[in-house]
Structure formats: structure tokens, C-alpha cells
Structure 1
Amino acid sequence: MVWVVNKQVQIGKGKRCHLWLGALLCWLCFMVVTPKITLSHKPLQFADMRNFLGVPNTLNVITNFPFLLVGVVGFVLSLQGCFFNISLKGEVWGWALFYGGIVGLAFGSAYYHLKPDDSRVMWDTLPMMIAYSSLFSSFMAERVGQRAGLSCLFGLLFAVLFSTAYARTFNDLRLCMMFQLIPCVAIPAMTFLYPPKYTHSRYWLWAAGVCLLAKFEDALDKKIYNANRYFISGHSLEHLCSAAIPVLFAIMLIHRTIRCQRLGDLKERPRP
């Protein structure tokens, strides 16, 4: 079984090169075709701007609490190692940083929604980019190998810093927005190209679907708010829907088992 899997990986090296080349071309096309996404230079207007108990934009603020709860639990379980089935030490980095980014998103997004303006928008965007980068590196470690996952993690974290600096210097959020497309586009595409190492791999597709649903809710912020007679806005629903993504991955990590082992991973000692 090990030989067969590694043989498939060797055959897929050419496809891997084409995949990265295609991703680069897509990035270049995106930067050339799409218009510049600038900071607004004025307070952003969300559909629900209500104030309860002296808290501005109350629902948009408090709907970030699930991020904090799920992020803390996931971060502790990633490092603790008894409940999450993580077979390699390198995978711990990706998952711990993913849930750490979710915790940062809870604080950053709440801080931003208390007073939405240009000076605070990166506090909302930066932890989200870190979480998406760590999630994609965990996917690479599972599907391709630990070395590829760690290389992807460090490379994407550098890209996060570069994108943040680019956004602040050139007043262009396009690079930052691209990180939100990673779980929605790249992960489903690579799911069919690389065999899973663990069981319960369908959770990756479910999470990508929930991510797309959250983006639609955000895009239909005012329409959803009007449709339910001003009970909750689409942006608040996006927060709650997005918080379900780390929950899905926590369920996956708890129940999954090793389906096939790779030769490169066999050289690594499993976590105690």
C-alpha cells in the first residue's frame, strides 16, 4: 500500500508543477483584470448598525464570540494531542496556528466592528489571512506530505506579511482578499488530485461549502436584514456561519484515522 501511494505521488509530480503554474497564472490574471480594491476612507455602513447597552454595532460585535470559544478550545486540543488525531509533529504547527488565528479573528473583528474605519480594517483581515494560510498548509501536509505542508506554511505567512504591507502602501486590498479564496477554490480542486492520508476527508468539502455560504450572506447583508424584518443582518450571519468552519474541522480531527501512510512520513516519529 505504501509503495502504491508513493508511486502515485511520483506520477503526480508533473501535475503538481502544472497546478502551481496554473495558480500563478490565475494570480496574474486576477491582478490584471480586477479593479483596484481601495480602502473606503469613510466609515463603512453595514446593514445592522443598532446599539444595545452602549455597544456600537452590537450584533456584529457579539457574533464574534463563537470564534473565541471555538478557537481557544481548538488551540488547546491541537497542542494537547489526546483528542485530535494528528500523527506528525509538523501538522501540529498548522492546526495550532489555524485555531490561534481564529482566536485573533475574534478580537480583531470585534475591535473593527466597534468602529469600522480604515485604521482598523487590517485588524480584522490579518488574523483571517493567517488562519486561511495555516489551514491550507495543513491540507498540504495531509495530502502531499509534512515537508510540503511546512514549506507552504512559511511561504504563505511571508505572503501574508507582504500582502499586508502592499495593502497599506498602495491602498489596495486585492492580495488580502485572495486569501479568502484559498479554502473555497484551491482545497476543493486539490481534493480530487491528491489521495487523502486520513479518513473523513469529506469535511474539507463541507467546510469549503460553508465558507462560500458565508460569503453569500455577507454579499446579501442588507437584503437578508430586510427579509427577516430587521432581526439579524447577513454580515452577522456570516460571522456565525464562518464560526462553524473550525467546528467542522475539530469534528474531523477527533474522528479521523490514518487511511494510508506515505514513505516520507514513515521516517517521522509520531507524536507521543
Structure 2
Amino acid sequence: MGFPGTWMTQSESVIYRVVPKCACSTIGQILYYSDHGHFYDGDIHDAREGLHKWNQDESQPVIEAAARERRAYAFTCVRNPYARILSSFFDKIAGIQRNGKRYRGNMVPKLARTYGVDVGSPEDGFAFDQIASFRRFLLFARDTVRFRRPMDPDIHWSAMSGHIGTFVGNGGRLDHIVHTETFGAGMRTVLDAIETPVPVDLAAVPRFNESAGHGPKRAHPVEAYFDDLSMHLVREMYKRDFDLFGYDIDDPSNKMPVREIDLHAVHAFLSE
């Protein structure tokens, strides 16, 4: 399988295992800047040069050697699962993508028919019951994650441990895991541990949110979207993520991690 979802700087200063909806656009731009001294002009996910990416054939042997031989510092980034699944809904289900279309073509119309999900439209100002529609989406997301129907889980709401597990299970080892909620401190740890061709001033780095402005704004605090049933569905999908990455499974209002990540436990569990 190799190392899908893995990026590395061309200078081989650092390896990053991408986890969707966990500041990946900002991290990718930081890595790009650390080699070139400027940010990529566009969505970093579209960049075909300036970064090694596993989905580019010519990058695979370079990434594989660096990961397996552990000759480059490796890290990833995680996010509170309650906030992450909610962000996935507003970006990929309720939002319009950069190409002006709905995500994955007919998926949203199918959700409307089979799960009763209503996400409005740009024409009506995205006027819909956000809480009711999100909770119906959660049923769909749970079905994809637990039962792989009516489709396999999308990368934007499949478990973070699953993404990271491919890196660890195939012979990679992480030196650090950044919490999105303490992003500045986490990325400081990464940058302090490596040598980059270009110094990075984290305080001057903008947040690159490529989904901003393409859909409805969240109208309520995170916890308003989760009743008892919704929390049960989230536990079904992401209990391993809560346990491994130190988040509070019982309180959607508490986005902050409640304990440090035990890297040894993460590697032991994900390499099984």
C-alpha cells in the first residue's frame, strides 16, 4: 500500500501525513514556504510541483525511502472529532465547491432523497434547518463508516486513526502529532525540530481555509448540533480517535484536548 496521503518537502526536511479537515491546507502551505520562501499560488492540494506527494508517481520512491528509513522528521495533525465531522458537513455537503458544483456530483441529491438532508442553495441564501439536516447527515456518515453503505466512507469523515494508521502500519513512525486546537504551539514544535531551507515565521502565516466563502455559515455553537443520538453516532464512528488523540468524548462543547497524546500508545495500537 505504501504511504497514501503523505507529503514531504523537496528538501526532505519533514514528512507530513495529511488528515483531511485538520488544517491540511495551512500545513501544506507552510511546508511549501519552508522550501521556496513563498506560498503556493492556489490551493496547495492542486500543486503538482514544489512538494513531494504520494499521488505523484515520481515522489513515491523518495517518500517511501525517507519514511521507512526514518531519515526525515514525520508528523501529522488531528482535530476534535465533533468539530471535524461538523466541518465536513458544512464544507462537503452544504457548501459549493471551488468549481461551482456540489461535492461528488450526485451525492447531495441522493442524501436529500434517502436521508432527508436539506442544505438549501446559494439562491435561497442556504436557508435550511442546519441542526436537523446535520443530524440526518450523521446517520449517513455512520452508515458509510460502520457498514460501508450506501458507499465507502469519504476521506473527509473517515476516522483520523484510519488515515494515520496507513502511515504507521506500513513502516512509518511519527515524531509528533499536532492538535489543531493548539496549532501554533504544535507547529512550533515541528519547526524547532527540523532544519528548513527558508525560516518560517509562524506568526505571519495566514490560515488557508480553501472552503471559506463557498457555503453557509455555521449558525450555532458546536454542541447545539449534537443530541444524545448524535453523540452516540459520533462515538460509534470515532471512539478510537477520542481515545488515541486525547479529546473529550462526553462534551461536544469542549473542543480542546484533555490530555497529551501518548505517541508510544498510538504506534502500538495502529501498527497491530
Q: Which category of TM-score, normalised to the shorter sequence, fits these structures?
A: under 0.3
What TM-score, normalized to structure 2?
0.24
Structure number with the higher strand fraction is 2
Q: Which has the larger radius of gyration?
A: 1
What TM-score, normalized to structure 1?
0.24
